[in-house]
Structure 1
Amino acid sequence: MSSPGRRRIDEIGDESRRRILDAAEQLFAERGFDRTSFVDISERSGISRGSIPWHFKNKDGLILAVVGRAIDRAMGPEHYETVPRLAEVLDEYANWLRSGNSALMFMILTEAMSSTGAVHTQYQEFLARRRKGVEVWLRTQRPEGVDPAFATERERAFAVAVSGAVSGIHLQALIDPDGVDLDTALQALASVFDKHVADVWAQPAPEQQRKAGKSGGSRRGKSR
């Protein structure tokens, strides 16, 4: 707790705000939003409880500030323009996960899924930013002569797949750290995509062939 002699002016500066955010981020990652109080944050940060609402108004404001800062730490899409291989993208992403309280991202996800408010919107922006980064990287790899409209559609789908796979690996590493090596798993994922990246822009089978394949499969199933 802050000492009785601490002046209020000492608790409303940038350093105090950072300490409150650091403490809140740690506690949210450890306990979740609902089980963390201003008293807990005050004890962890060394800043008086009364100074927390001065900075953030209320708990919702504090949550939004924590989420916003966590999202800002993620690599922006512009960073991906200079990375030659997805393996390097995911290696840097793993460094980002290790640099903070990465469990917080799943606490945020839980909160985002249970509401349509500001946290939900911020998490949408985080996911969109991550997908956009993969799309930017893919554009640097795109072969000449591919129809841009077709390429953009496939790149978006690829980015969704990569983002989903990364989240799954991250979650498994958090829940079973002894059974899942985050770096090795991310590199295995990257090696598969790097090896088959040209398939992103491969033309799909014509619509007629796809329909024929489906109907043929149905007939074969019925004949058994």
Structure 2
Amino acid sequence: MTTPAPRRMDEIGDESRRRILDAAEELFAERGFDRTSFVDIARRSGISRGSIPWHFKNKDGLVMAVVERVVERIWPAERYETVPTLTEVFAETAGLLRSGNSALVFMVLVEALGDRGVVTEQYQQFFARRREGIEVLLRLRRPAGVDPAVAQEKERTAAVALNGALLGIHLQALVDPDNVDLDSALMSIASLFERNLADVWA
């Protein structure tokens, strides 16, 4: 049985949605959520203002769609089909910083902590994916004879600490790029972590 060809209207709808998301992501990163209007997004995307709520219902729906796409791009679900090494975790953090709209990650955090908090769940998902990847890495390096229940809790705590260090370096490099050597800072954390890895389960 052959798969039916996509309808032209569906293709147009998908393209409009992509262009709106691209424009919204750029503008949110440049101006923040509150200072970006549907009119701004319509101008940037070349899509009529009336089409935006048709695709996303309201601004909160658009914000969540942008965040979901950013999270999926940074740490896609299929990433867990392979186990990241510590070097890969750091390299992916560096890649995120250089991706062009990485400041959006921290604007999302501000929004998540604000009164509306419309993207709190998406930001929690972003953090959880990062921690889970680190926990997988640690679990595979767990020494024999360690109680799995105790080890799991310690690995979770270590993942929180390491993820915090990675995001902290990211933030410093965004705010003060002339005085923060991203690669050196990441390798410094990697070295410290590797040298003290046994302490995770002590």
The bucket for the TM-score relative to the shorter chain is 0.7 to 0.9
Q: Does 2:38 match 1:38?
A: yes
| Structure 1 residues 83 and 133: CA distance shift in structure 2, 3 A | closer
Deviations 1:163-183 (A, max 9, x none): 111111111111111111222
- Correspondence for 1:136: 136
* Aligned-pair CA distance for 1:144: 0.8
Decide whether the 8 Å contact of 1:80 with 1:137 is kept in 2.
no
* Structure 1, unaligned runs of 5 or more: 1-8, 203-224
Q: Does 2:80 match 1:79?
A: yes
- Correspondence for 2:201: 201
* Structure 2, unaligned runs of 5 or more: 1-8
TM-score, length of structure 2 as denominator length: 0.88
Provide the C-alpha distance between the structure 1 equivalents of 2:116 and 2:140, rounded to a whole number of angstroms: 35
SS at match of 2:178: coil
- Correspondence for 1:178: 178
Decide whether the 8 Å contact of 1:80 with 1:89 is kept in 2.
no
- Correspondence for 1:56: 56
- Correspondence for 1:215: none
SS at match of 1:142: coil
Decide whether the 8 Å contact of 2:93 with 2:170 is kept in 1.
no
Query: Partner letter of residue 38 of structure 1?
Result: F
Deviations 1:135-164 (A, max 9, x none): 111001111111111111110110110111
1:13-28 aligned at under 5 Å gives the runs 13-28=13-28
Which is further off, 40-49 or 61-70? 40-49
Query: Rg bigger for which structure?
Result: 1
Identity %: 66
Provide the C-alpha distance between the structure 1 equivalents of 2:181 and 2:64, rounded to a whole number of angstroms: 31
Which is further off, 75-84 or 41-50? 75-84
| Structure 1 residues 135 and 10: CA distance shift in structure 2, 3 A | closer
Provide the C-alpha distance between the structure 1 equivalents of 2:126 and 2:89, rounded to a whole number of angstroms: 16
- Structure 1 vs Structure 2 CA RMSD: 2.0
* Aligned-pair CA distance for 1:117: 4.7
Query: Partner letter of residue 140 of structure 2?
Result: T
Provide the C-alpha distance between the structure 1 equivalents of 2:178 and 2:81, rounded to a whole number of angstroms: 31
| Structure 1 residues 117 and 178: CA distance shift in structure 2, 3 A | closer
- Correspondence for 2:6: none
SS at match of 1:101: coil
- Correspondence for 1:122: 122
Decide whether the 8 Å contact of 1:28 with 1:36 is kept in 2.
yes
| Structure 1 residues 89 and 154: CA distance shift in structure 2, 3 A | same
TM-score, length of structure 1 as denominator length: 0.80
SS at match of 1:178: helix
Provide the C-alpha distance between the structure 1 equivalents of 2:117 and 2:134, rounded to a whole number of angstroms: 27
4+ residue runs of structure 1 moved beyond 4 angstroms? 9-12
| Structure 1 residues 31 and 11: CA distance shift in structure 2, 3 A | farther
Provide the C-alpha distance between the structure 2 equivalents of 1:180 and 1:87, rounded to a whole number of angstroms: 19
Provide the C-alpha distance between the structure 2 equivalents of 1:81 and 1:144, rounded to a whole number of angstroms: 22
Query: Partner letter of residue 83 of structure 2?
Result: T
Provide the C-alpha distance between the structure 2 equivalents of 1:175 and 1:158, rounded to a whole number of angstroms: 26
* Aligned-pair CA distance for 1:100: 4.0
